[in-house]
Amino acid sequence: MKARLLIGTRRSRLALWQAGHVKARLESLHAGLAVELLPVSTRGDELLEATLAQAGGKGLFVKELEAALADGRADLAVHSMKDLPVNLPPGFILAAITEREDPRDAFVSGRYAELAELPAESVVGTSSLRRQAQILERYPSLVVRPLRGNLDTRLAKLDRGDYAAIVLAVAGLTRLGLAGRVRSVLPIEASLPAAGQAALGIECLAARADVIAFVAPLADAVASACVRAERAVNRALGGNCAIPLGAYAEHRGSSLRLRALVASPDGRRIARAEGEGEGADPERLGDRVAERLRREGADEILAALSP
């Protein structure tokens, strides 16, 4: 077992915080282990004008990191689970899902305290079709426009007046010490999170038994079960960032409660479903809820989104 590990990470301040968090945890768990960060520029970080759906999907944030793992420049990569595609390339493994931060969405504005206060035609910024659909379902008089860039860039666009408000993940703001920017937190019922939101995932090569052993203590059983159920819904429906899909699981004793939705981007059509199942088999629960979504019209919504 080597006494030095390199973590591949995106260059954004939030990504560096997340990788630094994993670095600190690893070094505290393993005496004598030295962990370093390898910042990598990803295609998703460079394409700031197009939406993720237009640019090519969430894989744009991980391909360069997986290349660094494949050629040995990095031993592991730290991802926001909501940005990690549901299907990993052959030879790669999700070695651990860490304890989850607050998974909810945050309303951020300099003038208004919540979405309900926004006047008609107010411009709301979000990078997520999932958030867009749920906002427009409840507030069809608002205007939702794309918001790309890292967290600091998005806040700067709000502060210079490009938007009346923006919607971000509570977790990212909290991790960077910006919780004070949150004017209100959107309840789960009003804004169902993305699959895996607020959880961190550690990816490595499946053949790296040494790395897998090092990161195993970082895995959180509850977060892992919940995120696996959420990702199973996404996978069953062919999920990618072009689909406005939300999925959120909660642990209840030995079982999980899973809620999910699929929506048209304009919020006019939304299929919702939920279910409960054994925490020991989260993928089965995710598949079952995905099937219920289909019975509620998810396939028709998805077909209308196809080019």
pLDDT digits (tens, 9 = 90+) for 62-86: 999 999 999 999 999 999 999 999 9
Residue 225: both structure tokens together = 């079960």
Residue 45 bears catalytic tag: no
CATH of segment(s) 230-305: 3.30.160.40
Does CATH number 3.40.190.10 belong to domain 4-100+199-219?
A: yes
3-state class (DSSP) for residue 150: coil
More confident residue, 47 or 292: 292
Average pLDDT, the chain: 92
- Are 105-186 and 230-305 equal in CATH topology? no
Collect contacts of 188-191 with beta carbons under 8 A, ≥24 apart.
Answer: 188/103, 188/104, 188/248, 188/259, 190/134, 190/138, 191/104, 191/105, 191/131, 191/134, 191/135, 191/167, 191/246
> Where along the chain do its domains lie?
4-100+199-219, 105-186, 230-305
Q: Taking the mean position of all CA atoms in its chain, how far away is CA 24?
A: 22
Of the listed ranges 44-53, 98-107, 158-167, 206-215, the one predicted with least confidence: 44-53
* pTM reported for the whole predicted model: 0.92
Strand arrangement of the beta sheet that strand 105-108 belongs to: 143-146, 123-126, 165-169, 105-108, 184-186
Which burial class, exposed, middle or buried, applies to 56 when counting CB atoms under 10 A from its CB (0-12, 13-18, 19+)?
A: middle
CA-nearest of 160, 159, 163 to 144 is 163
Which overall architecture, per CATH, does domain 105-186 show? 3-Layer(aba) Sandwich (3.40)
Q: Tens of pLDDT along 163-220? A: 999 999 999 999 999 999 999 999 999 999 999 999 999 999 999 999 999 999 999 9
Catalytic-role residue among 83, 102, 162, 220: 83
